[in-house]
Amino acid sequence: MIRVQARTILGHEPGAFRLDVDLEAPADGVTALFGRSGSGKTSILKAMAGLLRPRQGRVILRDDVLLDTEAGVDVPVDRRRLGMVFQDGRLFPHLSVRRNLLYGAPGSPELAAEPPSLDAVVERLGLGPLLDRRPTTLSGGERQRVAIGRALLMKPRALLMDEPLAALDAERKAEILPMLADLQALRRVPILYVSHQMDEVVRLADTLALVDNGRIVASGPVEDLTSRLDLRPLTGRHEAGAVLRGVVSRIEPEWDLATVAVGQDTLTVPARAMRPGIEVRIRIRARDVTLALDRPTGMSVLNALPTTVVETSEADGPHIDVRLRLGDGQWLWARITRKSAAALGVAPGRPMIALIKTVAIDRHSLAPPPAGEA
């Protein structure tokens, strides 16, 4: 278990920021800290790393107490053995990539022998052609890969990642996200990952902690929190949706499509190098779900899932959100107009067909379950 309790005031009155968090996260897998900019996510990482000392607090990693202000315990930053990756990489410009990677590597033979090796990191992150170059000659994506590799080669007990993709364009993010999803294959340690992009959370995390105004508002499995109506203001109304789990049952190579079994139902999604038998998570935005009373015919939409209405939200201008239960107990959301809801008689207990266009399920919406879950 990871426990970060921190109470402190950052800045000066008036307008000082109050941090009052109590975070519990699993001691394995990826926990995403999600919230708006300025909500306190980075401060939580800094408190765990020892870069921020709260007025009151405790930091525990498994059975080791790293901070206990009441007991006078404050393990120095360099002895906490936590690898931190920032938004900008923070590489040493006068050192080669190879020397940057090895900077901070443990000196003791016991730690140095622990995985991953330099060769493994270089191979997994595709750093071979970069080893003799300087950081100033690298692209933003290349610099972040080096920073991630350096953090891994410190042989950390946990990885702390502070929006490592925030400064990158969409193409660079698409390049690095699969590597981040595979990090735990290199070193089996917990990862705390700060983000305000839900597609990153769905791709990487199994646990989600929502941060707002210096507090942890809710935490739990990604699928559970993204389906809660009361958390919509924090998970994002425009990007609101649900995360489904399924197993790839069939590939249609001629169409570049895959069939995913979701309980007794199926979804057709882009194949994305999938193979039968693998488990996947599928993020479906509420705005991409259309409701119908009966299964339609003669239309291009490939996905039609039988559901039951569970609840509806309060009116949001012309729209409402409708929470739907699938046959296997998973949840789906639809955002429709109030006029459509009235015409269809949408109410709790009403059977509905949820229509989802395959093209709405893009590459950012599909991911394997986090490492260790499959």
Pick the range with the lowest mean pLDDT from 45-49, 54-58, 189-193, 234-238. Answer: 234-238
pLDDT, tens digit, 9 for 90 and up, residues 240-267: 788 898 999 999 999 999 999 998 899 9
pTM: 0.82
Name the 3-class secondary structure at 201: helix
Tell me: the pLDDT tens digits for 30-57? 999 999 888 999 999 999 999 999 999 9
pLDDT per position as a tens digit, 262-308: 988 999 999 877 889 998 889 898 999 999 999 988 889 999 999 99
Candidates 71, 13, 17, 12; CA nearest to 46 is 17
Question: What confidence tier does 112 reach under pLDDT thresholds 50, 70, 90?
Answer: confident
Give the model's pLDDT for residue 238: 60
Q: What angle do CA 96, 135, 114 make, to 5 degrees?
A: 55
Beta carbons within 10 angstroms of residue 330's beta carbon: 20
Residue type, 341: A
103-128: buried (b, 16+ CB within 10 Å) or exposed (e) per residue? eeeeeeeeeeeeebebebbbebbebe
In the predicted model, what is the mean pLDDT of the chain?
Answer: 88
At residue 281, the 3 state secondary structure works out as strand
Q: Are 165 and 90 in contact (CB under 8 A)?
A: no
Tell me which of 52-61, 193-202, 332-341 is least confident: 193-202
Asked whether residue 371 carries a pLDDT value surpassing 60, the answer given is no
Mean pLDDT of 355-367: 83
Beta pairing class for 319-325 and 303-312: antiparallel
